[in-house]
Amino acid sequence: MKRSLMAGTSLLVMLLVACSDASPVETNRIDASSEVVVQPAQLGTFGVSLTNMDVSVEPGENFFEYVNGTWLKDTEIPADRSRFGAFNVLSDRAEERVRAIIEDAATSKNPSADEKRIADFYNAYLDVDGIEAAGLAPVQADLTRIRAAATRNDIADLMSDPALGLDSPMNLYVYIDAKQNDEHRVYMSQSGLGLPNRNSYFEEGDRADEIRAGYVNFVATMLSEAGVDNSTERAEAVMAFETALAEEFWEPVKRRDRDLTYNKMSLDTLAETAPGMPWARIFDNLGLGGESDVIVREKSAIEAAAAVFADTPVDVMKDYLTVSLLSNNAAYLPKRIDDASFGFYGKILRGQEEQRPRWKRGVGQVNGTLGMVVGKVYVDQHFPPASKAQMDTLVENLRASFEEGINNLEWMGDETKEQAQYKLAKFNPKIGYPDVWEAYQGLEIDRADLYGTVKSARQWGWEDQLSDLGAPIDRDEWGMTPQQVNAYYNSILNEIVFPAAILDAPFFDPHADAAVNYGGIGAVIGHEMGHGFDDQGRKSDGDGIQRDWWTEADAKAYTERASKFSAQYSAFEPLPGEFLDGDLGLGENIGDLTGVTMAYNAYKKSLNGEEAPMIDGFTGDQRFFMAWAQVWAIKWRDEALSQQIKNGPHSPGEFRANGIVRNIDAWYEAFNIGPDDAMYLAPEDRVKIW
């Protein structure tokens, strides 16, 4: 079934001394790393591009710049991007491949039903002349419906129509119950803000003022396009409505806490604690009338949002929904609407100079709507069985490394170790592509009605979620398509998932040196495994059930180490006066530290006691760490970087590279790093968790 990733999913992502009679963990070999690579790697001679390096920078001064410095100097961020790096190179490659698949479908003389759906949707999206000629006619009936709303019940009806896809103070979705993971449940979370998060409404400073002013101007533009009078004044009222919602919305750090965000209650209790919303009506509209319970993620925020809903004039919420309708569908409407949306969300918010070409956005639309249909062809063409087999070996080598690492932990007691080992053993790796392909049965594509097709897809997606209620858990389901350049860990299913498209250089190259593959995709594998044991992932057990399986002493020891690590990242200043929030990025950074640690240990074991060869003057250990830094080569526009610092759990690439290696002893030895180097941390200050 097709859907986006839900709660309990982390994206790209113990102790007494171990018993002395423990047998060493066996590790499968991946390439005979004592042999020089014969087939050419995609990058350089062994998998790292030496021309990207800046050897005038000492490794201990800034390792990220040492590995990527020339690339950073020579690379210009494309005008249609707010950032550019290794992930974008891979994404562009996957995008071109998907485009070819789509165009093949479009030119087929005898297209299959799936090929016709792909071609019809893509061509409808590319038909800008038809979109311009239609104007706002496709959305006119929905605009009229919004204008006709007279009561709060009418507003609630609009907000709870899945096909419309309108913003609402809360988002409802169906997913597996985190504490009873043999059943699906309805979840509810805060939602409906036009700015990135609640802090955007209250931050001080010229830049924050510019963003808010730009947003009000955008709202006014959307209202004017809809034929509303006094658009600026009414835009201010919409802004006031959103600000009132944001007042009690939770900040990103608090929203990470799985203990705080699991609040199961009956619908009767929800109605009592948040009486301002017509909950029974909303649930009935969504086909959820038979559900007795809901899991509320941000309880106090939902209660406050219900009160704001009850206190806000209907006319203001009608304007809010009018803006939502045009903004959320800007890509399917005339260019002036699309440009206005990009002008704020692209230019002002992220510093992007140009809109992405229409064909690239069209590829994204097809991937988002019929992704698995395209993905099946993508895998057939671009993911050979040998790559999957090599990945399977890497995963098991990382698992073996992790198992040994847990056994050797000095700060964790045997009781917690046993539970940790059970969880590790139960990890379910999914590599490349699903065993069962989503067919999107019943999803109709109308070449002559782009907006209608989008509405149908939304309705289909919601009904797909509804079909899970009362149904067995589908453990074959994927939350990403094979052509996505990403990976994830799902705590509720205790699975690690690696789509085919990320299994390419610089992350993975079957012809690269083993050290490079371990430092690249090996560290990514370890990162996703590490999410199962990060500050939030550790709250679920090996069966995916959210519960506390830690002894009090071990939990305290873990928290002390995690807090120390968080403090390191909170000291990083990517932009003048803008520091990372170590607590916001803690899960991702623990994933990185765990991943690199376990990948390095797995690499060393793969050598079976032999010395790795010197290649181009670099040792195996040096190549391993260089591969890690190469993966995170990225440049940002300041506007986008600022948003990432404030809102994103992932640290910018420089700090993912440097922040990890300075905590790993082997890096110091590999590059002869000493106390006089800027990145040096005294041994007692280096954080070791897993």
Which is it for strands 180-190 and 83-85: parallel, antiparallel or unpaired?
unpaired
DSSP string of 448-506, one letter each residue: T-HHHHHHHHHHHHHHHHHTTTTSPP-TT--SS-TT-S--EEETTTTEEEEEGGGSSTT
**In terms of C-beta density within 10 A (0-12 exposed, 13-18 middle, 19 or more buried), how is residue 413 classed?**
middle
The pLDDT of residue 509 is 87
pLDDT tens sequence across 530-589: 999 999 999 999 999 999 999 999 999 999 999 999 999 999 999 999 999 999 999 999
pLDDT of residue 506: 85
In the numeric block, which tokens belong to residue 523?
Answer: 């560290």
For residue 35, what pLDDT band results from cuts at 50, 70 and 90? very low
Instruction: Give me the mean pLDDT over the 327-339 stretch.
Output: 98
| CA atoms of 88 and 269, how far apart (whole Å) | 46
pLDDT of the residue at 652:
98
What pLDDT was estimated at residue 499? 97
52 Cβ contact partners less than 8 Å away, ≥ 6 residues apart: 67, 68, 69, 70, 71, 630, 633
Asked whether residue 434 carries a pLDDT value surpassing 80, the answer given is yes
Q: Treating both helix axes as pointing N-terminal to C-terminal, what angle do 314-328 and 231-248 enclose, rounded to 10 degrees?
A: 90
**Alpha-carbon distance 121 to 445, whole Å?**
6
What pLDDT score was predicted for residue 2? 39
SS3 635: strand
Tell whether the model's pLDDT for residue 18 goes beyond 70: no
Mean pLDDT of 647-654: 96
Q: Considering the chain, what percentage of its residues have pLDDT values greater than 90?
A: 91
pTM of this prediction?
0.91
Largest CA-CA distance found in the chain, in angstroms, rounded: 80
Predicted confidence at residue 533, as pLDDT, reads 98
Q: Is the pLDDT of residue 28 over 70?
A: no
With cut-offs at 50, 70 and 90, classify the pLDDT of residue 511: confident
* pLDDT tens per residue, range 76-101: 999 999 999 999 999 999 999 999 99
pLDDT above 60 (res 491):
yes
Confidence at residue 539, expressed as pLDDT on a 0 to 100 scale:
98
Based on its alpha-carbon atoms, the radius of gyration of the chain, rounded to whole angstroms, reads: 26
Residue 628, pLDDT score = 98
Three-state SS at 2: coil
DSSP β-ladder status, 263-266 and 180-190: unpaired
The mean pLDDT value for 224-240 works out to: 98
Q: How far is CA 295 from the centre of its chain?
A: 22
The pLDDT assigned to 510 comes to: 85
Whether omega before 357 lies within 30 degrees of 0, making that bond cis, reads: no
By the 8 A CB rule, do 424 and 395 touch? no
Average pLDDT, the chain: 93
End-to-end CA distance of the chain: 35
Write out pLDDT tens, residues 240-295. Answer: 999 999 999 999 999 999 999 999 999 999 999 999 999 999 999 999 998 999 99
> pLDDT band for position 41 (50/70/90)?
low
| Per-residue DSSP letter, 59 | T
CB 432 within 8 A of CB 391: yes
Contact 606, 29 (CB under 8 A): yes
pLDDT at 505: 82
pLDDT of residue 5: 40
Going along 63-179, which residue ranges are E strands? 83-85, 170-177
* Closest CA relative to residue 49, chosen from 12, 95, 89: 89
pLDDT at 3 over 60: no
